[in-house]
Amino acid sequence: QQQVKQSPQSLIVQKGGISIINCAYENTAFDYFPWYQQFPGKGPALLIAIRPDVSEKKEGRFTISFNKSAKQFSLHIMDSQPGDSATYFCAALSMNTGFQKLVFGTGTRLLVSP
Amino acid sequence: SAVISQKPSRDICQRGTSLTIQCQVDSQVTMMFWYRQQPGQSLTLIATANQGSEATYESGFVIDKFPISRPNLTFSTLTVSNMSPEDSSIYLCSVTGAGNTIYFGEGSWLTVV
C-alpha cells in the first residue's frame, strides 16, 4: 500500500516533443505528490508538486495532471529540451499524519535527443 | 528553500571501516531525514533524525549499522558502520522546509572497496 508505481523506466523524446511520465498509488492517505529531477552527480531537486484538491498544476513547461479517483498522477514536459535529460522521480506522502515520509517511485530516465 | 550542505561529498572507503556523514542546514528545521540511493536505483528512507531523542529507523535499517545523531535543529550526522561493498551508495540528507516542502542535499557518494 505504501508503493508508488512509476512508468516508463526510460524515455527518449525528440527535442520539442512532449515527455510524459506516469505514477500510480494505492494509499488514499497520501495528500502531497511532488516530482523531483535528478541530474547525474547531483541530489534530487524539487521540480513541481500538487495536492489532491486540484486536478492540474502548471509551472512553465512542466505540468502535473492528477486523477484522484484513479489514484494516478503524471508529469508532462512540454517542448522538451536536451537540458531536461535527467532522471525523474515521483513521490507521495501523507502530510496529515505529521510524519512526513516520502515514498518514491522507481524513477524514469529521460533522454531528449537534439 | 532550505540550503543543505553535506560532507563529505564523495569518498572511497576500505571494507570494515566506518564513515560519518555530516548534514548542515542553513535554518532551523523540525524534520530531518536520511535516505540511501543505491546505484541506478530510487531513494529509500533510512531513518528520521529526531532532535533530542533516538532516530526512528525504517524496516531493514538498524541503529548499530547506521547510528544517527541530531544535536540541534540545524545539524545531523549519519555513520555507516563496518562498511561492505554493498554499502556503496549515495547517502542523502533531507529536510522539511517552509510550506512543508521537502528538500535534499547534494548527497555523499560512498564507494567501498
> Could you give the 3-state DSSP secondary structure of residue B104?
strand
Compute the average pLDDT of residues A49-66.
95
Cβ <8 Å between B104 and A102: no
Residue indicated by cell numbers 523531483: A36
- Cβ-Cβ contacts under 8 Å between A and B: the total is 47
- If you compute the radius of gyration of chain A from its CA atoms, what whole number of angstroms results? 14
Cβ <8 Å between A43 and B33: no
Where would I find the beta strands (DSSP E) of chain A? 4-7, 10-14, 19-25, 33-38, 45-50, 56-59, 62-67, 72-77, 86-92, 103-104, 108-113
- Per-residue pLDDT at A98: 59
What's the rounded Cα separation, in Å, for the pair A12 and B67? 41
Cis peptide preceding A82, ω within 30 of 0: no
Lowest mean pLDDT among A39-48, A49-58, A88-97: A88-97
Cβ <8 Å between B48 and A49: no
DSSP A93: B
- Residue A29 vs residue B81, higher pLDDT: B81
Residue A43 has its nearest CB partner, among B31, B41, B92, at B92
Residues from chain B that touch A104, judged by Cβ atoms under 8 A, are 42-44
- Per-residue pLDDT at A20: 98
Check pLDDT > 80 for residue A27. Answer: yes
- Which band of pLDDT confidence, cut at 50, 70 and 90, is reported for residue B100? confident
CB atoms within 10 A of CB B36: 21
- Per-residue pLDDT at A99: 59
In B, what residues contact A, Cβ < 8 A?
Answer: 1, 31, 33, 41-45, 48, 90, 92, 94, 96, 100-107, 109
**Cβ pair A77, A84 in contact under 8 A:** yes
> Could you give the 3-state DSSP secondary structure of residue B87?
helix
Question: By C-alpha distance, which of B78, B73, B37 is closest to B55?
Answer: B78
Cβ <8 Å between A42 and B102: no
Question: By C-alpha distance, which of A41, A28, A25 is closest to A86?
Answer: A41
DSSP B58: P
**Cβ pair A108, A25 in contact under 8 A:** no
**Cβ pair B4, B103 in contact under 8 A:** yes
| pLDDT, tens only, B47-72 | 999 888 889 999 999 999 999 999 99
